[in-house]
Amino acid sequence: MFITFEGLDFCGKSTQVKLLRNYLVRQGKDVKLIREPGGTKISEKVREILLDKNNLEMSPETELLLFTASRIQLVKEVIIPNLKKDVFVISDRFHHSSIAYQGFGRGLDLDFVESLQSFAIQGALPDITFLLDISVEEVNKRKEEFEHQNLDRIELSKNRFYENVREGYLYLEKKELYIKRIDGSLPIDTIHRQIISEIKKFKTNADYLNE
Ligand code: TYD
């Protein structure tokens, strides 16, 4: 099973990814955890270029192609081989991030961004995507708590950008049935329980289909 997590910066994905991984391991499953951009030798190098605060002159087009290049390497080297071995693959961000951030956030041509993403994922569509939805006000609140820590190039973006990214995620949620939106302002535990319940539902459906 291939599960991805999406949402604005500071939406709490990383916490939920870890809780889900621990849950599945307790159930005796093999789990491979990955994060984007990154996850392979080449993709980690691309990550450094993408998030470097000094690379302020990076064009949106370059940004899109670098995120996508990093992704293709991850799909081929890690995601597809693990799914073939029946491992649960959980990814902290995947192709929807490029549609929301580069398509809606940076305003690049949506048709092009979407077809580039279907080329990039090589057929490896997620079974379930959890969209942890928080408002831009909530992003700002959480950002302030991190004020004295190091923010990366993209986390330094402004309100308008995040409004557009969020609009992108809501557009995707309407389009794809496998995207489950969860209110990211709920307590950590409540969100975790909702995630487990969606995964159990998915298994039931799959068993039913196999009968
Ligand atoms: P990261 O430190 O992984 O942030 P987070 O923990 O919030 O996921 O940095 C990823 C940043 O890159 C984040 O601001 C979102 C952005 N991003 C894109 O703009 N496009 C993409 O395709 C991906 C994968 C990430």
Beta bridge partners of 33: 90
DSSP-based helix, strand, coil % in the chain, nearest 5: 60, 15, 30
Average pLDDT over residues 185-203: 95
Q: How confident is the model at residue 211 (pLDDT cuts 50, 70, 90)?
A: very low
pLDDT value of position 207? 55
The Å distance, Cα 34 to ligand 1 centre, comes to 13
How much of the chain exceeds pLDDT 70, in percent? 96
Q: Which domains does the chain show, CATH number per domain?
A: 2-201 (3.40.50.300)
Tokens 């990211």 label which residue? 184
How much is the mean pLDDT over the chain? 94
Q: Is the pLDDT of residue 144 over 90?
A: no
Atom 19 of ligand 1, residue of closest alpha carbon: 101
Q: Is 98 in the pocket of ligand 1 (CB under 6 A)?
A: yes
Tens-place pLDDT, residues 180-189: 999 999 999 9
CA of 47 to the centre of ligand 1 (A): 9
In sequence order, what are the residues at sequence separation of 6 or more whose Cβ sits closer than 8 angstroms to the Cβ of residue 176?
Answer: 129
pTM above 0.85, yes or no: yes
CA dihedral 79, 203, 195, 156 (to 10 degrees): 20
Pocket test for ligand 1, best of 52, 93, 102 (most atoms within 8 A of CB): 93
Q: How far is the CA of 121 from the centre of ligand 1 (A)?
A: 17
